[in-house]
Amino acid sequence: MSSNLINEIDIVKANTSKISSVDFENLTFGNIFTDHMLICDFKEGAWQKPIIKPYEPFMIDPSAKVFHYGQAIFEGMKAYKDESDDVWLFRPDENFKRFNHSAKRLAMPKVTEDIFIGGLKAILDLEREWVKKGKGNTLYIRPFMIAIGSGVIAQPSTQYRFMIILSPARSYYSGEVKVIIAEHYSRAANGGIGAAKAAGNYSAQFYPTKLANERGFQQIIWTDDATHTKLEEAGTMNVFFRINDTLYTAPTGERILDGVTRKSLIDIARRDGIDVEVRSLLVAELIEAAKDGSLKEIFGAGTAAVVNPIVGFSYQDNYYELPKMDNSYASQLKEKLTNIQYKLAEDTFGWTVKV
């Protein structure tokens, strides 16, 4: 990567910090934010100078295109603190590439590496006290970009705002997770924006997920839009299925997000001799495996939850409970991945980046 250019970012420090008022042992995911945020505007065809300033609301024109045409993208990342008080990022280059992939798909300008990576390191260096030691403690990072140009004509904006905000976090999900396999609603379609981390992808999930919640299920396993026969993602996560001793996960493409946690788990599993097949698993295959006992595990994978085991699923009003397993692939892979992230195990892949 190029130089960080931290010295070329203006920094206005908050007069006081709110960190002493935060109960880090009892955090609700995404509700508390650190003292500062990064802002960088795009106008007249160029990115302006970034600034880090106190976290606060800002004014925006009611006709801003983000409100009317949904030009909004984001990323999800985390920072970790090791036992030596050093702060680390995990594969930030992958988030940077994916962010610009999303930007291209939504006709938004690409963010430069110096603004994205340099800005990220600069704000983390300023907020490093918010990154707490101990496994399970992280600082969630939310880079995002919105269209701020005014006017309601249906065309891309000419002005944009890139921002980074930070939120101390622990576990995203708690308790047992039961899912419904989608038979009608779809997360994404071929030719659409499913492979982009676009805000609209998530709002479209809220209603079918609400219906699932009302039936006592926490999430949905999405199926392909055309036939609803191929298993794709689980809620806001990529999903893995273990049949006998083989892991299956859907290939990325126009409908499926290229998850950083997903690809990391695949690499760790293959390194350690676990068979992984990247292909579309059919609903019929899953039902058959559940009935004959060869289905051992289902788990979601994503930045917020890391690995989230699923205890059972429903399809066509039939519920299938998964067996309880000692030393499951989910627990093994989560342990190995988080040990790398927290610098408790050697990073043989070169994934971690020191702030």
Helix pair 113-126, 92-105: axis angle to 10 deg: 130
Q: Rounded CA gap, 319 and 323, in Å? A: 13
Question: Predicted confidence band at 330 (pLDDT cuts at 50, 70, 90)?
Answer: very high
**Tell me: the pLDDT tens digits for 145-159?**
999 999 999 999 999
- How many helices and strands (H and E) does the chain possess? 7, 20
Question: Predicted confidence band at 170 (pLDDT cuts at 50, 70, 90)?
Answer: confident
Query: Domain residue spans in the chain?
Result: 6-170, 178-341
| Higher per-residue confidence, 164 vs 5 | 164
Hey, what amino acid is at 152? V
Q: Rounded CA gap, 74 and 354, in Å? A: 22
**Tell me: the pLDDT tens digits for 228-284?**
999 999 988 999 999 999 999 999 988 999 999 999 999 999 999 999 999 999 999
CATH number assigned to the domain covering 178-341: 3.20.10.10
In this structure, whether the domain defined by 6-170 belongs to CATH 3.30.470.10 is answered with yes
CA 104 vs. chain centroid, Å, equals 19
Q: What mean pLDDT do residues 332-351 have?
A: 96
Q: Rounded CA gap, 177 and 219, in Å? A: 7
Amino acid 176: pLDDT: 82
Amino acid 304: pLDDT: 85
Amino acid 173: pLDDT: 58
Residue 5: is its pLDDT beyond 90?
Answer: no
Which residues are paired to 314 by β-bridges?
A: 180, 319
Question: Predicted confidence band at 3 (pLDDT cuts at 50, 70, 90)?
Answer: very low
Residue 1: is its pLDDT beyond 50?
Answer: no
Question: Predicted confidence band at 172 (pLDDT cuts at 50, 70, 90)?
Answer: low
**Tell me: the pLDDT tens digits for 287-318?**
999 999 999 999 999 998 899 999 999 999 99
Percentage of the chain exceeding pLDDT 90: 89
Q: Among the residues of 196-303, which ranges form H helices?
A: 199-214, 260-271, 283-292
Residue 333: is its pLDDT beyond 50?
Answer: yes
Q: Which two tokens stand for residue 153?
A: 């004509």
**Tell me: the pLDDT tens digits for 24-41?**
999 988 899 999 999 999
**Tell me: the pLDDT tens digits for 53-66?**
999 999 999 999 99
Q: Rounded CA gap, 102 and 137, in Å? A: 28
Amino acid 2: pLDDT: 43
Amino acid 104: pLDDT: 98
Q: What mean pLDDT do residues 205-231 have?
A: 96
**Tell me: the pLDDT tens digits for 82-133?**
999 999 999 999 999 999 999 999 999 999 999 999 999 999 999 999 999 9
